[in-house]
Amino acid sequence: MLDVGAGDGALTTHLVAAGARVIAVELHPRRAQRLRDRFAGARVMVVRADAGSLRLPRRPFRVVASPPYAITSTLLRSLLAPRSHLVAADLVLQRAVVRRYADGHPPGSGRWRASFDVRKGRSLPHHAFRPLPRVDSAVLVVRRRR
């Protein structure tokens, strides 16, 4: 399981509790170290990396993440690339972005629509997050077609 933009480990905690092995990706050095300390002994590998230049696994993988909104386009382009081994993703993103992808209207959608089903999941109000974003969010649900 890949948690991109793991931050303080809010999602990582739940993934570990569910029995997942997690690769937690975090750019900021102090946050990455706090993640290492917090999950020492757990099935968590912390990778300090920029999600925009992240090399994805070469075998089938799943993503559950709430990445920084600023990297949304770069991350989605990478996850939905023709050679990606992505099986499934549940991504907390800006609600407007989720709507655009679920409607099949983002740039480049012709390249990935044959390989992936994309839909809007649960909506999340901005007050559910710390720090408080200025926009509401939703879950983008991505599943590889069989």
pLDDT at 102: 92
Rounded to two decimals, what is the model's pTM? 0.92
User: 17: which residues sit within 8 A by CB, 6+ positions away?
Assistant: none
Mean pLDDT across 20-30: 96
At a CB cut-off of 8 Å and minimum separation 6, what does 63 contact? 1, 2, 3, 4, 79, 86, 88, 89, 90, 91
Radius of gyration of the chain from its Cα atoms, rounded to whole angstroms: 15
Confidence of residue 51 (pLDDT cuts 50, 70, 90): confident
Fold held by 2-144: Rossmann fold (3.40.50)
Q: What is the pLDDT of residue 80?
A: 94
Taking residues 43-57, report their average pLDDT: 91
Which of these, 34, 37, 35, 42, lies nearest to 17 by C-alpha position? 42
Q: What is the mean pLDDT of residues 40-62?
A: 93
pLDDT of residue 10: 93
Q: What is the pLDDT of residues 73-129, one digit of tens each?
A: 999 999 999 899 999 999 999 999 999 999 988 877 888 888 999 999 999 988 888
The total number of residues shown for the chain amounts to: 146
Whether residue 46 has pLDDT greater than 80: yes
The reported pLDDT for the residue numbered 3 is 97
Residue 84 is encoded by which pair of tokens? 């990606």
